[in-house]
Each structure stands twice: as structure tokens, then as C-alpha cells.
Amino acid sequence: MWKTISSKGIYLFFFVVVACGFARPTGEAALPTAKVALSQPLTIRWRYGSHLTVDLTPAYDGDRIYLPLAGGTLVSLQAKDGQLNWLAEMGGELSASPVADDRGVYVASEIEEETGKLEAGVRRATGTVRVVGREGGVTLWMRTLAGPLRGALTISGNILLAAGGDGRVYAFDRVTGEIEWSVYSGGSFNCWPVVSAGLVYVGNEDGSLLVLEETTGKILWRYRTKGPVRGPVAVVNGAVYFGSGDGYVYAVNSANGRLLWRKRTGAAVQAVAHVEDALLVASLDNFVYRFSLNGARVWKRQLPGRIASQPLTATDGALFTPLASLAGVVLGLRDGRQINSLPTGEEITRSASPIAIGDAVLLTTEHGLLAFAQPRVSQESVSR
């Protein structure tokens, strides 16, 4: 069934960054792998229609999806059929990709306010972070911040991690919303925090990758590049791999930040994912690269548009959603050849990343959310 949500106005904005888009941010060093066979035929099982989608990746728990919309609206849907559970207004605009657990969904938003009389007409943004209850969409707690959070929210144990345009990294208690710690590092953030072995990895707009102690927020080291670091890192066997807006993918020692190697691509690196003891690297030059963990390039494949979001990986392939294309593209991991396509019926304009829940793959489009799954076999076919 096609459902439409109306609003008094549409606030359009576009983040061409990885951090606005990724699969579920849970703090794991390795990103979740889809249980769906991406190489098998996938057709549209259901769609949820809205002309208010934004460049933020939906959150999900075991059976529900939380879709961010323009105007500060959050929609809860049943994963099995796309039926509406509830709709809640957050106020302002949503500013970071949400994350969910079995209690609810954690949401960041921003509200623009006019400053004092001496600066009439000058506006600044303040931020909020809250948890919205799973069943009714009611706010359980809310925290007001000096500036909006950006990128994506991450859960690690009892902590909610986030970073903002005010140059701070925050750790909130998931139950109470109290700030466990906050650290100012200079420069703004638009990133996806990743946690591994008690360390928090965050990328900064000034080109730095910072590593902090999870329990205290103490900055242990930073590695500087010449472009913004926005996407999630991959931490594997004592090395951390990440991309930068300077066009390089980097490998540094996770203990001290010393450079192990770096390799150049054709443009800003928007995504780095760990698969099969190798790396998939997506760049704004329209290419996907596979590198070995020691930096050797295995293959390079061109896609029909810029890749501004994190891929969804599975054991048999990786799904990319190139901007300006008409379909999601699945590449085989071994040689990078296209092994499947997920037609969306319209040009892809959203940089929200694809996600997987249960046996379905979900893509955010300009006009809603599409759920792809293997065609169901009817009882009549089985009886034959």
C-alpha cells in the first residue's frame, strides 16, 4: 500500500557524505553483513510513499524501521509489510542518522534561533538528542545541546555516542540521557563514530581522525589528512582503515596512529568497508576499489554515478546506490563484476545508505522507502 505524509513545507538539504547514510550504526568495528543473498533476484515487496525523505539512513530494530523525514518527522513502520506504526514530530529538522535498540529510537535534531537584538536577523542552530519510545513514539528523555549533532548516532553498551558541528564528541547515558563526557577537539564533525576494543574513532572536518578512550573521552592520538574524514572506519587486526576528502584511503596503526600505507583514488573517498579480509573503497570518482589489507589494489569498477553512501555488504556481494542512476548495483566481491540490479523506478537522489532487515533490503528514494526481497513462492506453486 502506498501511503503519503503531507507537511506544511519541505525543507530540502543534501549531505554528500557517508556519515549521513549508513547501515545501522551500532558501534561495531565491522559493519553488519546482510543475511539476504544480494546476487539472487529481488523484487519490490512493499513501498512507503513520502515526498519528504532526506539524506539520513533509517534506523531499525528487530522488526521495525524508523524513517527520517524533512520537517523533523520520524515514521515507524513494520518491516514485514511497511504498515505505519506511528508518526512523531521532533521539531526543527533531523540532523543525524538515528539508531534504535529494543527500547526505542535515538534521534538528533536542530532548531534555528535568532540571536540577540544587536544581531537581529542572524540565526544560529541549537541541537537536541532524545530517545523516542518504541511503541508509541513518545519522548522518554531529551537533552538540549549548544549545537546540532551531525552524521550518525552510535550505540555502544550503555552509551550513545555522537559528534557535532560545535567540535565536540559526546557520550550520553542511554537510559537517562545524562552526558557521561564531552570533549572539544577543534573543527566540526559530520561523522559516524565507531567503537572497537574500548576506543572511539571519529573523523573531523579539519581532516583528522581522532581516537578517544570510550570510558573517559580522553584523546589518545590523531592522524591528520588534507580532507574531511566523514565515513566510518574499519578496524582489523590492529590497523584502522579510513578514507578522506583528499582522495586517499589510509591504513594506520590502531595503537598509536602511525601510518602503515595510503593509496590514492580519483576523488574524495566516501566509504570504506571491510569484506573477506579486504577493503571495499567507494570514491566520488564513480569507482569502487577493492584493496587488500596491505594496500594492494585487487580490482577497480566504475558505476553509473557518484557513490556518496556506505554499501550494504553480504557474503555474495555488495550493494551500492550511485547518485543519478536508476537502480542499486550489486557487485561481486571476488572480481567486482555486476551480479544484480535493484531498479528503483526513478533516479536515485538520496545519499542515505541501503539497509537490510530480515529477508529484505531497503532503499531510500526521493519519494519514499522501497523494500526489496526474493519473490515469495505461493502455496499453489508449492502444491504443484
Instruction: Work out the end-to-end distance of the chain between its first and last CA atoms, rounded to an integer number of angstroms.
Output: 30
Could you tell me how many helices (H) and strands (E) the chain has, helices first? 1, 35
Residue where the block lists cell 574500548: 198
pLDDT at 286: 96
Residue where the block lists cell 543519478: 324
pLDDT at 187: 86
Which of 316, 287, 282 has the alpha carbon at shortest distance from 301?
287
Query: Do 370 and 47 form a contact (C-beta atoms < 8 A)?
Result: yes
Query: Do 342 and 327 form a contact (C-beta atoms < 8 A)?
Result: yes
In a domain, 41, yes or no: yes
Q: Dig out the grid coordinates for 42 from the structure.
A: 529481488
pLDDT at 124: 75
In a domain, 13, yes or no: no
Q: How far apart are CA 365 and CA 242, in angstroms?
A: 27
pTM: 0.88
Determine whether 258 is exposed, middle or buried from the number of CB atoms within 10 Å of its CB (0-12, 13-18, 19+).
Answer: exposed
In a domain, 270, yes or no: yes
Q: How far apart are CA 18 and CA 309, in angstroms?
A: 5
Query: Do 270 and 259 form a contact (C-beta atoms < 8 A)?
Result: no
Q: How far apart are CA 57 and CA 67, in angstroms?
A: 8
Sign of the dihedral defined by the CA atoms of residues 142, 143, 149, 154, in that order: negative
Query: Do 383 and 47 form a contact (C-beta atoms < 8 A)?
Result: no
In a domain, 87, yes or no: yes
In a domain, 328, yes or no: yes
Which of 273, 280, 294, 285 has the alpha carbon at shortest distance from 335?
280
pLDDT at 122: 59
Task: State phi, psi for 54 to the nearest 5 degrees.
Answer: -130, 180
Query: Do 308 and 270 form a contact (C-beta atoms < 8 A)?
Result: yes
Dihedral angle computed from the Cα positions of residues 132, 133, 139 and 140, in that order, rounded to the nearest 10 degrees:
-110
In a domain, 6, yes or no: no
Q: Give me the CATH number covering residue 274.
A: 2.130.10.10
pLDDT at 13: 34
pLDDT at 36: 86
In a domain, 11, yes or no: no
Q: How far apart are CA 252 and CA 242, in angstroms?
A: 9
pLDDT at 319: 97
Q: How far apart are CA 209 and CA 228, in angstroms?
A: 9
Q: What is the mean pLDDT of each run of 10 residues along the chain (384 residues)?
A: 36 36 47 79 97 97 96 97 97 96 96 62 82 96 95 97 95 97 93 96 96 97 96 95 97 97 96 94 96 97 95 95 97 97 96 94 97 76 48
In a domain, 261, yes or no: yes
Domain count, the chain: 1
Domain that holds residue 363: 18-116+123-375
Q: Dig out the grid coordinates for 224 from the structure.
A: 591528520
242-247 long-range contacts (CB < 8 A, ≥24 apart) are: 242/201, 242/203, 242/209, 242/272, 243/18, 243/268, 243/269, 243/270, 243/271, 243/272, 243/281, 243/283, 244/207, 244/268, 244/269, 245/207, 245/269, 246/207, 247/283
Q: How far apart are CA 102 and CA 60, in angstroms?
A: 10
Query: Do 352 and 370 form a contact (C-beta atoms < 8 A)?
Result: no
